[in-house]
Amino acid sequence: MPNILQSGATWLGAKLQASAGRAVSVETGGVTIPVTATLVTAEHEVMDSQQFLTRVLSCDWTFVAADLGTLELKPGTLVHDGADTYQALPLGNRPCVERLDSSGILLTLHKKKVKVDAQRCLG
């Protein structure tokens, strides 16, 4: 039986998907699956190579873990959003994927854009 925090994370995930979700595909290890994800902007403190803490504003993908099935998010995972493609990567000293709640119901994926829809940029 889920506790109140798990129920809250499940509820939040459903609300995020319904109000701000985007149909994307996630590709890793030769497997691609369609999922609904949400872009969320967050501020993170990361340690740079000289051991200084730096604040970084990052726009990350949020997923409901159950939607990913057995697909594992890891560095190099690709997220295709229309003609744009993003690649998972660690953010400073943080891993590329982090739990947003203690049970791992919601996951955030740090990423960089690796392919841009030129048509959208031009017009």
**pLDDT tens for the chain, residues 1 to 123:** 568 777 777 777 777 777 778 999 999 999 999 999 998 888 888 887 788 888 888 889 999 999 999 999 999 999 999 989 999 999 888 899 999 888 888 899 999 989 876 555 454
Is this structure's pTM higher than 0.85? no
Q: Is residue 107 within 8 Å of 100, Cβ to Cβ?
A: yes
The amino acid that residue 6 corresponds to is Q
